[in-house]
Structure formats: C-alpha cells, structure tokens
A and B are shown apart, each in its own frame.
Chain A
Amino acid sequence: DVKVTQSSRYLVKRTGEKVFLECVQDMDHENMFWYRQDPGLGLRLIYFSYDVKMKEKGDIPEGYSVSREKKERFSLILESASTNQTSMYLCASSLGFQGTPAETQYFGPGTRLLVL
C-alpha cells in the first residue's frame, strides 16, 4: 500500500511566522503535489514536482515555496504566514507515467493549519 505521511495533523501559527509542512511518501513515486482545500472550493494546486530538485508552480503559488531535496520528501514553506493561509493542506504523490491510471494520486492525511 502507498503511504503518504505528513508531519503534523494540526498546527497553530501566528501571522508572520515561517511555517514548514513536511510530506514523505514510501513508494518511490516520481510526482508529488501540494494542495489546499477550503470549504466550497475544489482542491487547489499550490506546487508540484516531477523529480528531485524540480518544482513547478500550480494555480495558487503566491506566498508559498517548496523544496524537494530527496525523492521521497516534498516540503511546503509558508515564508510569512497570513490569516488567509488558514486551510487544510494536502500532500499527494503519483507514480508518474502520464496518461495512465498510474497518475492516480495518493494523499496524506492532511495538515489543518490555523494562522492567528
């Protein structure tokens, strides 16, 4: 079974703090993704990575950065947290062969971040 883990289930941070969210997958997947999920909205892609040290902006990258130093680990960084970044953050990974069911994404349990 694919296992995607995230460093925290719940986080409370103050405005202006730097926040690190860690994600690790154990199935040697090529692709990793960071989403945020807010009520009434679909999952919105923040950043994704198709390879080590590679990153691509998603739909809403502003205020975020990422790091992928190792294949299994993908970190999301909030450089200076703001209240509008209060959300559920979901990490996902996929095997990486385009256009096949291997693109199925497997999700971590999520981190619910509250910025005060």
Chain B
Amino acid sequence: GQNIDQPTEMTATEGAIVQINCTYQTSGFNGLFWYQQHAGEAPTFLSYNVLDGLEEKGRFSSFLSRSKGYSYLLLKELQMKDSASYLCAVMDSNYQLIWGAGTKLIIKP
C-alpha cells in the first residue's frame, strides 16, 4: 500500500531551528509537496521537490532524497506564527496526491 509517515507533534522554541521529517512509500513518484495549515484554516502551499537536493525559500527549506523515500522541511528563526500543522504529500504515478496525517508544530516563547 501507499504510506506517508511524519511525526504527529513537535515542539520548538521561538528563534530556533526545527526539522520535520517525512518518509514515503508510494506507487511511483512525481514530486513531493509541503503545505502549512493553521488551525481551522485551509492548507497553503509551501514547497515542491521533484529532484534530489535542497530547495531554499526564505526561512523555509525542503530536502528530498528519492532513493531513501525521505524528505524534510527545515524552518529557521522560528516565529510564533509558525505554529501550525505541516502536511507532507507525494504525487504518485497516477498524479494523485497521497497525504500524510500532518505534524503539529508548537512554538514556545
């Protein structure tokens, strides 16, 4: 079956760095997405990786290793507004998105 695994919850301190991991087993691979979802709101797009390596976008970076079925989202200089759930999703060979359950990130002052 198809599976996306990510930690259920993580806690970090304001100003620090946090890495949210995502491992996947899917039927084919056509890219990996990270979304941010604040409580009670819609998911919003953060990043897309289809080739191995690191993609940097401001305070957020996303890394992909296709051979390991692994990705991480790196958040630097954490701010209180970064408290949210972070969703990992993989596009399979049928171009369908397979979603992880999300990682709830709690930022403490």
Interface residues of A (CB under 8 A from B): 4, 40-45, 90, 98-99, 101, 103-110
Contacts and interface: CB of A to CB of B under 8 A. Distances in A.
Interface of B: 4, 8, 30-31, 33, 40-45, 48, 87, 89, 91, 95-102
Contacts, number: 51
B44 A107 contact: yes
B48 A42 contact: no
Contact of A103 (B42, B91, B98): B91
Contacts of B42: 4, 90, 107-110
Contact of A105 (B8, B40, B97, B98): B97
Nearest to A107: B42
Contacts of B30: 98-99, 103
A107 B43 contact: yes
B102 to A, nearest CB: 7
10 contacts: A4-B42, A40-B8, A41-B101, A42-B98, A43-B97, A103-B97, A105-B97, A107-B43, A107-B44, A110-B41
